[in-house]
Amino acid sequence: MIETWRWFGPSDVTTISDIMQTGATGIVSALHHIPDGASWSASEIAKRQAQIGTTFDGRASGLVWLVVESLPVSEDIKRQTGDWREHIANYKLSLENLAAAGIYTVCYNFMPVIDWTRTDLAWRLPHGGTCMRFDAVDFAAFDIHLLQRKGAAGSVPPAVAAEATARFKHMSDADKQKLAASVLAGLPGAVDKLSVSTVQEHLARYGDISSERLRRHLFDFLEEVVPVAAGLGIRLCCHPDDPPFSLMGLPRIMSTEADYRALLDHVPDAANGMTLCSGALGARPDNDLAGIMRRLGDRVHFLHLRNVRLEGESVGCSFHESEHLDGSVDMVELIRAIIDEEARRKASGRLDSIIPMRPDHGQDILDDLNRGGQPGYPLIGRLKGLAELRGVARALAVTR
């Protein structure tokens, strides 16, 4: 695997100089300051490449912008409303400019309204560090009582709704504000900041969009952009829903192996692929991560390796982000499947035989607790995860 590291740009508390010391060689980044639906210009792409290639004191870093995460798909495209056709044209132009700059792997997602969602961004662990957590009861409390979404109470089991109501009654105003801020945190560096009122407005616009219709819109989007990507040599890779089940009554259509099979079969071009995120897909007990890699691995263009500890056995249960080798995902078996896929690619002569991987998320430990970094993206916690993943991969490669 090609070891990469996510960097959010000059405002990221983890610097390019820091990343040089991790051993990663590729950078995963995006132009978060450009609004969704607008095109990425050649000059802005070149500016980010220069930032990646240079340390704070002007030395060459040796790091390369290898993967875009994410080139956002606008809400207009997802709903097929407003300026969605113009936004698709801008998406194609962005792909052309990225290819001209030598960047050929582009990750995106099709989650409506909200990106990854947690109810606690700094949940205290027994060892004193913190991690991100999704508490099903807390989320129900947000949905029912803060968002006040019609039908929210009926969308969860009665016991969960009752516990959410009881818990909400004992929340202080500060507790409620913290819960809302955690749920609506979104991606670091994003232009659009969500609030309860803006989410309510978005939900109203999605009122008549079913899972089938949203999937149709995704396929329409791919039918437009995949031929362009294929012509440019770009690999598009769709990130799974995180968490991989419906939230706030919104359809989520990239949550299971069957969802990915439908996407890959509908547009069979090799340019249409997937980001295998073991943490996102791993938050469903019915997803077999190593099996998914073995069955769909030829279309996996990007890897997010992290682990989660499920706190129940049903879809929609609570979970927290665990250490990379200690969770509900069998990380050793997943890495074994990845190494086998890379060997198959090499034997068949594929130019993309080595798959880019980044150690995704991480627990805040040691000095991370004082650095004030982005939730989920601590320096030391991710470095620990990278070291563990690197060790497993090398051990398996030797014994293969």
Among all residues, which ones are annotated catalytic?
Answer: 239, 277, 304, 360-361, 377
Closest CA to 130 of 309, 310, 378, 319: 378
Q: What six digits make up the tokens of 346?
A: 């090499």
| Half-sphere exposure at residue 84, Cβ-oriented, CA atoms within 13 angstroms | 15
Cis peptide before 243 (omega within 30 of 0): yes
Closest CA to 29 of 53, 59, 60, 58: 53
Exposure string (b/e) for 306-344, b if CB count within 10 Å is 16 or more? bbbbbeeeebbbbbbbbbbbebbbbbebbbbbbbbbbee
Q: What six digits make up the tokens of 398?
A: 């030797």
The sign of the torsion formed by the CA atoms of 290, 295, 298, 303 equals: negative
d(CA 133, CA 156): 19
d(CA 41, CA 22): 30
Q: How far apart are the first and last CA of the chain?
A: 15
